[in-house]
Amino acid sequence: MLAKQSYVCTRLVAQISRIYLTTLTVLACVISEPLQGQSGQLLENQTGSIVGTVSNMNAETLVGARVVLEGPDPSDRRTVVTNDNGFFEFHDARPAVPYHVTVSAGGFSEWRSPAVILGPSQFKILTNIQLRLAMVSTRVDVTQTLEEIATEQVKAEEKQRIFGIIPNFYVVYEPNPVPLTSKLKFRLALKVTIDPATLVGNGIVAGAQQAGDTPNFGQGALGFAKRYGANTADGFTDILIGGAILPSLLHQDPRYFYQGKGSTKSRIRHALANPFVCKGDNGRWQPNYSSIGGDLASSAISNTYYPKAERGAELMFKNLGLGTAERMAASLAQEFVLNRFTHKSK
Protein backbone atom coordinates (compact mmCIF):
# COMPACT_ATOMS: atom_id res chain seq x y z
CA MET A 1 0.00 0.00 0.00
CA LEU A 2 2.84 2.36 0.91
CA ALA A 3 4.64 1.53 -2.31
CA LYS A 4 1.57 2.39 -4.29
CA GLN A 5 1.19 5.74 -2.52
CA SER A 6 4.89 6.49 -3.11
CA TYR A 7 4.49 5.80 -6.83
CA VAL A 8 1.44 8.09 -7.04
CA CYS A 9 3.34 10.90 -5.30
CA THR A 10 6.28 10.52 -7.67
CA ARG A 11 4.02 10.75 -10.73
CA LEU A 12 2.32 13.82 -9.30
CA VAL A 13 5.64 15.60 -8.72
CA ALA A 14 6.80 14.81 -12.26
CA GLN A 15 3.63 16.22 -13.80
CA ILE A 16 3.85 19.36 -11.66
CA SER A 17 7.53 19.82 -12.74
CA ARG A 18 6.67 19.38 -16.42
CA ILE A 19 3.89 21.98 -16.16
CA TYR A 20 6.24 24.36 -14.37
CA LEU A 21 9.00 24.04 -16.99
CA THR A 22 6.53 24.50 -19.85
CA THR A 23 5.18 27.63 -18.23
CA LEU A 24 8.70 29.05 -17.77
CA THR A 25 9.56 28.35 -21.45
CA VAL A 26 6.44 30.14 -22.69
CA LEU A 27 7.13 33.10 -20.42
CA ALA A 28 10.74 33.26 -21.64
CA CYS A 29 9.65 33.36 -25.29
CA VAL A 30 7.06 36.02 -24.64
CA ILE A 31 9.50 38.20 -22.75
CA SER A 32 12.51 37.70 -25.16
CA GLU A 33 10.71 38.95 -28.30
CA PRO A 34 10.24 42.52 -27.11
CA LEU A 35 13.78 42.49 -25.71
CA GLN A 36 15.20 41.44 -29.08
CA GLY A 37 13.17 44.12 -30.86
CA GLN A 38 14.40 46.71 -28.41
CA SER A 39 18.01 45.52 -28.98
CA GLY A 40 17.70 45.76 -32.81
CA GLN A 41 16.04 49.14 -32.55
CA LEU A 42 18.80 50.32 -30.23
CA LEU A 43 21.48 49.13 -32.74
CA GLU A 44 19.72 50.93 -35.60
CA ASN A 45 19.74 54.15 -33.60
CA GLN A 46 23.54 53.87 -33.18
CA THR A 47 24.41 54.58 -36.89
CA GLY A 48 27.78 56.08 -37.78
CA SER A 49 29.40 58.33 -40.39
CA ILE A 50 32.02 57.84 -43.09
CA VAL A 51 33.98 60.90 -44.28
CA GLY A 52 37.12 61.63 -46.28
CA THR A 53 39.04 63.98 -48.57
CA VAL A 54 39.88 63.19 -52.20
CA SER A 55 43.13 64.40 -53.77
CA ASN A 56 45.45 63.60 -56.67
CA MET A 57 48.99 62.24 -56.45
CA ASN A 58 50.28 65.79 -55.97
CA ALA A 59 48.16 66.12 -52.83
CA GLU A 60 45.88 68.62 -54.58
CA THR A 61 42.23 68.26 -53.56
CA LEU A 62 39.77 67.30 -56.29
CA VAL A 63 36.50 69.21 -56.54
CA GLY A 64 33.43 67.46 -57.93
CA ALA A 65 34.78 63.92 -57.68
CA ARG A 66 32.00 61.30 -57.61
CA VAL A 67 31.90 59.24 -54.39
CA VAL A 68 29.65 56.17 -54.07
CA LEU A 69 28.86 54.30 -50.83
CA GLU A 70 27.64 50.73 -51.41
CA GLY A 71 26.37 48.19 -48.93
CA PRO A 72 25.66 44.48 -49.49
CA ASP A 73 22.01 45.29 -50.18
CA PRO A 74 21.67 46.66 -53.79
CA SER A 75 19.18 49.21 -52.52
CA ASP A 76 21.72 50.52 -50.01
CA ARG A 77 23.64 52.78 -52.38
CA ARG A 78 24.32 56.51 -52.03
CA THR A 79 26.26 59.00 -54.15
CA VAL A 80 27.73 62.42 -53.34
CA VAL A 81 30.31 64.73 -54.93
CA THR A 82 33.25 66.33 -53.20
CA ASN A 83 32.95 70.00 -52.19
CA ASP A 84 35.37 72.85 -52.84
CA ASN A 85 37.81 71.30 -50.39
CA GLY A 86 37.59 67.80 -51.89
CA PHE A 87 35.62 66.66 -48.82
CA PHE A 88 32.72 64.19 -48.72
CA GLU A 89 30.60 62.63 -45.96
CA PHE A 90 28.01 59.90 -45.51
CA HIS A 91 25.81 59.74 -42.42
CA ASP A 92 23.44 57.11 -41.07
CA ALA A 93 25.74 54.25 -41.99
CA ARG A 94 24.60 51.10 -40.21
CA PRO A 95 27.01 49.38 -37.86
CA ALA A 96 28.29 45.86 -38.52
CA VAL A 97 27.56 46.26 -42.26
CA PRO A 98 30.47 45.93 -44.79
CA TYR A 99 30.48 49.08 -46.93
CA HIS A 100 32.67 49.92 -49.93
CA VAL A 101 33.53 53.46 -51.05
CA THR A 102 34.31 54.10 -54.73
CA VAL A 103 35.74 57.41 -55.96
CA SER A 104 35.99 58.47 -59.63
CA ALA A 105 36.81 61.66 -61.53
CA GLY A 106 37.40 62.57 -65.15
CA GLY A 107 40.92 61.76 -66.34
CA PHE A 108 41.72 59.67 -63.25
CA SER A 109 41.71 55.97 -62.46
CA GLU A 110 38.97 54.78 -60.12
CA TRP A 111 39.77 54.34 -56.39
CA ARG A 112 37.97 51.71 -54.32
CA SER A 113 38.27 51.10 -50.59
CA PRO A 114 38.41 47.75 -48.83
CA ALA A 115 35.37 46.79 -46.74
CA VAL A 116 34.53 49.47 -44.15
CA ILE A 117 32.67 48.09 -41.11
CA LEU A 118 31.52 50.58 -38.46
CA GLY A 119 30.87 50.04 -34.80
CA PRO A 120 27.84 51.62 -33.13
CA SER A 121 27.90 55.42 -33.52
CA GLN A 122 31.45 55.30 -35.04
CA PHE A 123 32.83 58.29 -36.96
CA LYS A 124 35.14 56.80 -39.60
CA ILE A 125 37.67 58.93 -41.53
CA LEU A 126 38.99 57.35 -44.75
CA THR A 127 42.57 58.39 -45.47
CA ASN A 128 44.95 58.23 -48.45
CA ILE A 129 42.25 58.66 -51.09
CA GLN A 130 44.54 59.71 -53.93
CA LEU A 131 43.50 59.29 -57.54
CA ARG A 132 46.10 58.45 -60.18
CA LEU A 133 45.98 59.79 -63.71
CA ALA A 134 44.28 57.33 -66.03
CA MET A 135 46.47 55.50 -68.52
CA VAL A 136 45.30 56.57 -71.96
CA SER A 137 46.02 54.42 -74.97
CA THR A 138 46.17 56.51 -78.11
CA ARG A 139 46.28 55.07 -81.60
CA VAL A 140 47.06 57.36 -84.49
CA ASP A 141 46.13 56.13 -87.92
CA VAL A 142 48.16 57.84 -90.58
CA THR A 143 46.68 57.47 -94.01
CA GLN A 144 48.34 59.07 -97.02
CA THR A 145 46.44 59.76 -100.19
CA LEU A 146 47.88 58.63 -103.52
CA GLU A 147 48.54 62.26 -104.40
CA GLU A 148 50.58 62.74 -101.24
CA ILE A 149 52.62 59.61 -101.95
CA ALA A 150 53.17 60.68 -105.56
CA THR A 151 54.30 64.12 -104.38
CA GLU A 152 56.87 62.57 -102.04
CA GLN A 153 58.17 60.37 -104.85
CA VAL A 154 58.46 63.34 -107.22
CA LYS A 155 60.37 65.28 -104.56
CA ALA A 156 62.84 62.40 -104.44
CA GLU A 157 63.09 62.34 -108.26
CA GLU A 158 63.81 66.07 -108.31
CA LYS A 159 67.01 65.38 -106.38
CA GLN A 160 68.30 62.88 -108.97
CA ARG A 161 71.29 64.39 -110.79
CA ILE A 162 73.97 62.83 -112.98
CA PHE A 163 77.32 63.55 -111.32
CA GLY A 164 75.28 65.66 -108.92
CA ILE A 165 74.79 68.33 -111.62
CA ILE A 166 72.73 67.28 -114.66
CA PRO A 167 69.00 66.80 -113.86
CA ASN A 168 67.74 63.24 -114.24
CA PHE A 169 64.24 63.86 -112.95
CA TYR A 170 62.32 61.77 -115.47
CA VAL A 171 63.69 58.39 -114.37
CA VAL A 172 61.78 56.24 -111.88
CA TYR A 173 63.91 54.04 -109.61
CA GLU A 174 61.12 53.55 -107.07
CA PRO A 175 59.93 49.89 -107.21
CA ASN A 176 56.32 50.86 -106.43
CA PRO A 177 55.71 54.18 -108.15
CA VAL A 178 52.38 55.97 -107.84
CA PRO A 179 50.82 57.57 -110.97
CA LEU A 180 51.39 61.31 -111.32
CA THR A 181 48.58 63.81 -111.09
CA SER A 182 48.30 66.45 -113.82
CA LYS A 183 49.65 68.99 -111.36
CA LEU A 184 52.77 66.90 -110.76
CA LYS A 185 53.30 66.34 -114.50
CA PHE A 186 53.36 70.08 -115.10
CA ARG A 187 55.52 70.63 -112.03
CA LEU A 188 58.11 68.12 -113.23
CA ALA A 189 58.17 69.64 -116.75
CA LEU A 190 58.66 73.16 -115.41
CA LYS A 191 61.33 71.98 -112.98
CA VAL A 192 63.42 70.51 -115.80
CA THR A 193 62.90 73.51 -118.11
CA ILE A 194 64.10 76.18 -115.69
CA ASP A 195 66.84 74.15 -114.05
CA PRO A 196 70.20 75.99 -114.26
CA ALA A 197 71.89 72.92 -115.74
CA THR A 198 69.27 72.86 -118.54
CA LEU A 199 69.83 76.53 -119.34
CA VAL A 200 73.59 76.03 -119.41
CA GLY A 201 73.14 72.97 -121.62
CA ASN A 202 71.12 75.01 -124.11
CA GLY A 203 74.00 77.46 -124.26
CA ILE A 204 76.53 74.71 -124.92
CA VAL A 205 74.42 73.32 -127.78
CA ALA A 206 73.96 76.81 -129.18
CA GLY A 207 77.75 77.31 -129.10
CA ALA A 208 78.30 74.06 -130.99
CA GLN A 209 75.69 75.09 -133.57
CA GLN A 210 77.34 78.48 -133.86
CA ALA A 211 80.61 76.76 -134.69
CA GLY A 212 78.88 74.66 -137.36
CA ASP A 213 76.81 77.63 -138.57
CA THR A 214 73.55 75.69 -138.21
CA PRO A 215 70.72 76.52 -138.24
CA ASN A 216 71.34 79.42 -140.56
CA PHE A 217 70.84 82.22 -138.04
CA GLY A 218 74.08 83.95 -138.94
CA GLN A 219 77.07 84.60 -136.74
CA GLY A 220 77.91 86.96 -133.94
CA ALA A 221 76.00 87.59 -130.72
CA LEU A 222 72.68 87.88 -132.58
CA GLY A 223 73.16 84.51 -134.26
CA PHE A 224 74.08 82.92 -130.93
CA ALA A 225 71.04 84.48 -129.24
CA LYS A 226 68.73 83.13 -131.95
CA ARG A 227 70.21 79.64 -131.65
CA TYR A 228 69.97 79.76 -127.86
CA GLY A 229 66.36 80.91 -128.07
CA ALA A 230 65.49 78.24 -130.62
CA ASN A 231 67.02 75.47 -128.48
CA THR A 232 65.22 76.74 -125.41
CA ALA A 233 61.91 76.92 -127.27
CA ASP A 234 62.40 73.43 -128.74
CA GLY A 235 63.05 71.92 -125.32
CA PHE A 236 60.23 73.85 -123.66
CA THR A 237 57.54 72.95 -126.21
CA ASP A 238 58.69 69.34 -126.41
CA ILE A 239 58.68 68.74 -122.66
CA LEU A 240 55.57 70.83 -122.03
CA ILE A 241 53.49 69.07 -124.70
CA GLY A 242 55.04 65.60 -124.54
CA GLY A 243 55.71 65.60 -120.80
CA ALA A 244 52.71 67.44 -119.34
CA ILE A 245 49.84 68.42 -121.67
CA LEU A 246 49.38 65.19 -123.63
CA PRO A 247 50.17 62.88 -120.66
CA SER A 248 47.51 64.73 -118.67
CA LEU A 249 44.93 64.47 -121.44
CA LEU A 250 45.77 60.86 -122.34
CA HIS A 251 46.45 59.72 -118.75
CA GLN A 252 49.96 58.52 -119.54
CA ASP A 253 53.17 58.66 -117.52
CA PRO A 254 56.00 60.53 -119.31
CA ARG A 255 58.79 59.05 -117.17
CA TYR A 256 61.27 56.26 -117.92
CA PHE A 257 60.80 53.26 -115.59
CA TYR A 258 64.20 51.80 -114.81
CA GLN A 259 64.14 47.99 -115.00
CA GLY A 260 67.58 47.28 -113.59
CA LYS A 261 67.18 43.49 -113.41
CA GLY A 262 66.50 40.55 -115.66
CA SER A 263 68.50 39.45 -118.66
CA THR A 264 70.48 41.92 -120.72
CA LYS A 265 68.24 41.27 -123.73
CA SER A 266 65.09 42.04 -121.77
CA ARG A 267 66.60 45.27 -120.46
CA ILE A 268 67.66 46.29 -124.00
CA ARG A 269 64.15 45.59 -125.31
CA HIS A 270 62.70 47.59 -122.42
CA ALA A 271 64.93 50.59 -123.17
CA LEU A 272 64.46 50.59 -126.96
CA ALA A 273 60.67 50.32 -126.60
CA ASN A 274 60.46 53.40 -124.37
CA PRO A 275 59.85 55.97 -127.17
CA PHE A 276 56.97 53.83 -128.45
CA VAL A 277 55.51 52.29 -125.28
CA CYS A 278 54.72 54.00 -122.00
CA LYS A 279 52.94 53.18 -118.78
CA GLY A 280 49.44 54.55 -118.38
CA ASP A 281 48.12 56.08 -115.18
CA ASN A 282 46.17 52.82 -114.79
CA GLY A 283 49.48 50.94 -114.50
CA ARG A 284 49.20 49.23 -117.90
CA TRP A 285 51.60 49.54 -120.81
CA GLN A 286 50.21 51.31 -123.88
CA PRO A 287 51.34 53.12 -127.07
CA ASN A 288 53.37 56.21 -126.22
CA TYR A 289 51.15 58.76 -127.97
CA SER A 290 52.36 61.49 -125.63
CA SER A 291 56.03 61.26 -126.55
CA ILE A 292 55.44 60.94 -130.29
CA GLY A 293 52.79 63.65 -130.27
CA GLY A 294 55.07 65.95 -128.26
CA ASP A 295 57.90 65.56 -130.80
CA LEU A 296 55.55 66.21 -133.72
CA ALA A 297 53.97 69.24 -132.08
CA SER A 298 57.32 70.70 -131.10
CA SER A 299 58.66 70.26 -134.65
CA ALA A 300 55.52 71.88 -136.07
CA ILE A 301 55.84 74.87 -133.77
CA SER A 302 59.53 75.27 -134.62
CA ASN A 303 58.46 76.06 -138.21
CA THR A 304 57.40 79.46 -136.95
CA TYR A 305 60.86 80.58 -135.82
CA TYR A 306 63.42 78.55 -137.79
CA PRO A 307 64.87 79.95 -141.06
CA LYS A 308 62.69 79.41 -144.12
CA ALA A 309 65.25 77.04 -145.62
CA GLU A 310 64.83 74.75 -142.63
CA ARG A 311 61.05 74.53 -142.47
CA GLY A 312 58.43 72.19 -143.96
CA ALA A 313 56.94 68.75 -143.39
CA GLU A 314 60.06 66.94 -144.54
CA LEU A 315 62.19 68.65 -141.93
CA MET A 316 59.49 68.10 -139.31
CA PHE A 317 59.49 64.33 -139.80
CA LYS A 318 63.27 64.36 -140.02
CA ASN A 319 63.40 66.01 -136.62
CA LEU A 320 60.87 63.48 -135.35
CA GLY A 321 63.09 60.58 -136.43
CA LEU A 322 66.14 62.26 -134.94
CA GLY A 323 64.30 62.88 -131.66
CA THR A 324 63.13 59.25 -131.50
CA ALA A 325 66.67 57.99 -132.06
CA GLU A 326 67.93 60.28 -129.32
CA ARG A 327 65.30 58.92 -126.92
CA MET A 328 66.30 55.33 -127.67
CA ALA A 329 69.96 56.11 -127.04
CA ALA A 330 69.09 57.99 -123.86
CA SER A 331 66.97 55.05 -122.61
CA LEU A 332 69.84 52.61 -123.18
CA ALA A 333 72.15 54.94 -121.27
CA GLN A 334 69.62 55.18 -118.43
CA GLU A 335 69.26 51.41 -118.19
CA PHE A 336 72.96 50.48 -118.28
CA VAL A 337 75.13 53.52 -117.49
CA LEU A 338 73.58 56.60 -115.92
CA ASN A 339 72.15 54.80 -112.91
CA ARG A 340 75.71 54.43 -111.57
CA PHE A 341 76.37 58.15 -111.76
CA THR A 342 73.01 59.46 -110.63
CA HIS A 343 72.90 60.86 -107.13
CA LYS A 344 69.60 59.81 -105.60
CA SER A 345 67.64 61.02 -102.61
CA LYS A 346 67.98 58.97 -99.46
Per-residue pLDDT tens, the chain, 346 aa: give them: 434 444 434 454 445 445 444 444 444 444 444 444 454 555 556 889 999 999 998 889 999 999 999 999 888 899 999 999 999 999 999 999 999 999 999 889 999 999 999 989 899 999 999 999 887 666 656 667 889 999 999 999 999 999 999 999 999 998 889 999 999 999 999 999 999 999 999 999 999 999 988 888 889 999 999 999 999 999 999 999 999 999 999 999 999 999 999 999 999 999 999 999 999 999 999 999 999 999 999 888 988 888 888 888 887 888 888 889 999 999 999 999 999 999 876 5
Q: Are 244 and 191 in contact (CB under 8 A)?
A: no
Q: Which residues contact 210 (CB under 8 A, 6 or more apart)?
A: 219, 223, 224, 227
User: Which residues pair with residue 133 across a beta bridge?
Assistant: 108
What separation in angstroms does the CA of 242 have from each of 160, 250, 321? 21, 11, 15
Predicted confidence (pLDDT) per residue in 49-94, tens digit:
999 999 998 889 999 999 999 999 888 899 999 999 999 999 999 9
User: In terms of pTM, does the model score above 0.75?
Assistant: no
Task: Return the number of other C-beta atoms located less than 10 Å from residue 293's C-beta.
Answer: 18
Radius of gyration, alpha carbons of the chain: 50
Fold held by 48-131? Immunoglobulin-like (2.60.40)
Domain parsing of the chain, residue ranges: 48-131, 146-343
Q: Which residues contact 179 (CB under 8 A, 6 or more apart)?
A: 146, 150, 253, 281, 282, 283
CA distance 21 to 204: 137
Q: Is 311 exposed, middle or buried (0-12, 13-18, 19+ CB in 10 A)?
A: middle
Q: Are 343 and 334 in contact (CB under 8 A)?
A: no
